[in-house]
Chain A
């Protein structure tokens, strides 16, 4: 199904959160204020690596209007955070390891006073030699950033023996690929409001992707019970993985506790840049060999990921990359070795695609190069090695069976865009000889869920509330992806409720069950599964109550718009009458009727940590234009085939692919948080360039392939990330088609694409010949 408004008919719905968004009425958590509120600010290290010899806060504390100045001494509990491995100091004791490290924080009456107070804090640093390169970090000469050295995590995968494998190859391609430090650039920077109530409980109003994880981490820092903390975490002005880890929360919470006043923090863009997470820059070296028929014989990969100063999810991102450099192909011999390495550069962590973006760019590049050596069509080479539906996953683990790989491949190769390949007219190229067009494609199999070995709980709750609303309660977060809209649509389409019947409750740890994190393309799948589990329970509970009051057997009743209806046996009869409204039923029941489900994200029967069970497949074709006078690349058309099971929300699906692909465009062409000597050179959006509407001149077609095997019980697969991983290698292939230049480093340096015979071209341009 080609996704668009027209083809979706009534399934294309206005988002319930839309009216407040387009009118500006929606209060984001960083828009909130409270009476008597103080402003919080954080003092961060100017040095990428230094020893702290003294911190003097007296002058700052003495400034009129300053209510608290805190350092590591004021952290009552664990002075560390980190989702997977808490090694990042809340407030540094004796050493800073990057330019975002927090050393002190203040709360004051006004922004101006808070900033003045930061200037009055004196910190003595003894600057230390820095480690600003991940490969250098692994050498014996490099200073050690942590007690265990500079290696956060090493992971790999082996099959057969690559050495003898390469001996038997007809062609071998060796290449090294580099990917940038991409920034999430959510438009709402980090921030929030922190309030200790009369009852001594802390309420945190701050964006996150997993409220219960924040609650656990904050309880550990503050040394108070988790039950004393309430996390309100939606709505969110964008996250893309970047707000999953704690950011300003520890400082807001500590300052609010010490001053006993509400405290607000809202990062400036620069503070967001220096302290926040980025995508791991990776260096991926690949050696891949085939026999003369194009069959893959051996694949050897070495990944070096720059994880920055602290762990957060660096190990998990590496695991994902290790799985995705193998991808949807079968090899006789495999040897993947990956290293996630501490440096004094910026923090790297979770970001949409989760290590897949880097891996797939490299892997697909190998196929294009090998195909050329073989004199084969690049897609033909992929087809010859593509996994069959019953093949095991990349780590030889059992995975849910689908025809996804074949489906997206057939759809893409049948697309008009791909068909146009090789037939590109030369007329336009003659008119402007420095403009060249090309077509390229790439292929992806992207895992969803956290993978084997990592707790990945799911679940939710349905309630007929006292006022007659049907409450759907989940701990997922709305950061723009349209989770509320998708949940509403599922309740309407699967249960028959009207939108007015429904009340959706998310993002408040006091009232929601733990449905796990809103990450890893998992929330829609898990809501769908929850509703599948809840439907018979809820029907049983509510319809049997209704049966008592309407004097009808429960099995002849059904949910409908506004209330409970009798199932019409005779389709001709127009007896579509509501027997009892939900409010009347709720009143008659006297108390809310609730059903709950809890389960675990489906995992593979394997021992390999991080191995996935559910995958989304995609094949992407693009047409680009390369300007050989400027070296600039323009994306003209895109075609995405995505096999992810049934489409729950066509507008949301389309938006995820379009939005993900836009991020991938930036990853390919312009985005890089440039660092030198551990310092950011790109401090704001004047130098860090995300795509604007002008870079999106082209069209985009998104083909959703919904068919799943008949006995599939997993329903819709995740689509939050897959749109962001396949575009970059497709662009690289299209550039090669256009100008015959191979790209190995992103973002693509325009200089690489300048015409070699520049003078000749200029001549033509001037003479118009």
Chain B
């Protein structure tokens, strides 16, 4: 029998413990399965988007322990013991100021790049609340947006930086 004729036996799944959007879970999937497909196909979490599958567009961006990664390049086993945040996690407590800034400044059109873009912005600002234009450019240059020409996105990021500063200042005054 030719190799190709053997019936396909699904790859053995293993149990991978991790935290997904704050919930501790076990992923019962083959260890080399890409996180993008685990999220979209196994967990029906479609906020994370698929576009190039090779790590060049950022549509599939999620945070792993606060660091932005392309989920299309991340294998399930690499998430073992890690904390994953997807766009659903960012939105869990209502609309985040970054998301509000995208809404108000028009930082999206078709919206397909938007979840990944927002993840990258969040990872940037959580780590560096007052980035320079060059740092913004570097942090977002892995996220392709074909619709907006980035104008609305740049304005949204500026707005989000301002808002976060304001709320930080008002917190420190009241605190």
Contact = CB atoms under 8 A, between A and B. Distances in A.
Contact of A684 (B54, B115, B148): B54
Contacts of B113: 187
B88 interface: yes
B19 interface: no
B89 to A, nearest CB: 10
Contacts of A750: none
A27 B111 CA distance: 11
B8 A113 contact: yes
A22 B56 CA distance: 21
B71 interface: no
Interface in A13-51: 14-15, 17-28, 31, 33
A692 B153 CA distance: 12
Given A21-B111, A658-B152, 6 more contacts: A22-B118, A31-B46, A187-B112, A187-B113, A189-B50, A240-B146
A538 B57 CA distance: 47
A33 B42 CA distance: 11
Interface string B115-148: 1001000000000000001001110111111111
Nearest to B112: A237
A217 to B, nearest CB: 24
Contact of A186 (B133, B143, B146): B146
Interface string A49-84: 000000000010001110000000000000000000
B146 A187 contact: yes
B116 to A, nearest CB: 9
Contacts of A112: 8, 10
A28 B146 CA distance: 17
A308 B143 CA distance: 31
B54 A19 contact: no
Given A23-B91, A480-B147, A659-B149, A5 B105 contact: yes
Given A235-B111, A480-B109, A187 B59 contact: yes
B49 A187 contact: yes
Interface stretch (A453-461, A592-600, A612-620, A694-702): A694-702
Contacts of B133: 697
Interface of B: 4-5, 7-8, 10, 40, 44, 46-54, 56-57, 59, 86-88, 90-91, 95, 99, 102-106, 108-115, 118, 133, 136-138, 140-155
Given A14-B103, A693-B143, A64 B110 contact: no
Given A24-B115, A25-B47, A685-B52, A659 B109 contact: yes
Interface in A227-245: 235-238, 240
Given A25-B91, A116-B8, A185-B146, A17 B151 contact: no
A387 B152 CA distance: 35
A187 B49 CA distance: 9
Nearest to B45: A24
Contacts of A31: 40, 46
Nearest to A21: B111
What secondary structure prevails in chain A residues at the interface with B? loop
A303 interface: no
Contacts of A480: 108-112, 147
A655 B111 CA distance: 13
26 contacts: A5-B155, A12-B106, A18-B102, A21-B111, A22-B102, A22-B111, A23-B99, A24-B114, A110-B10, A185-B144, A185-B146, A187-B49, A187-B59, A187-B113, A187-B144, A187-B146, A188-B49, A269-B52, A480-B112, A480-B147, A655-B149, A684-B53, A690-B144, A692-B144, A696-B149, A697-B133
A654 interface: yes
A266 B91 contact: no
A361 interface: no
A375 B10 CA distance: 74
B103 A238 contact: no
A700 B155 CA distance: 12
A661 interface: yes
A63 B2 CA distance: 12
A513 interface: no
Interface residues of A, number: 67
B99 A693 contact: no
A693 B52 contact: no
A479 interface: yes
Nearest to A24: B47
A65 B8 CA distance: 9
Nearest to B98: A22
A636 B49 CA distance: 32
A634 B11 CA distance: 49
Contacts of A238: 109-110, 112, 146-147
B151 A658 contact: yes
Contacts of B110: 186-188, 235-238, 479-480
A23 B44 CA distance: 15
Nearest to A5: B105
Contacts of B150: 658, 662, 691-693, 696
A662 B103 contact: no
Contacts of A690: 144, 146
A19 B52 contact: no
Interface string A363-401: 000000000000000000000000000000000000000
A282 B56 CA distance: 29
Which 4 A-B residue pairs are closest in the complex by CB-CB distance? A24-B47, A480-B110, A21-B111, A662-B149
A20 to B, nearest CB: 8
Contacts of B95: 19, 22-23
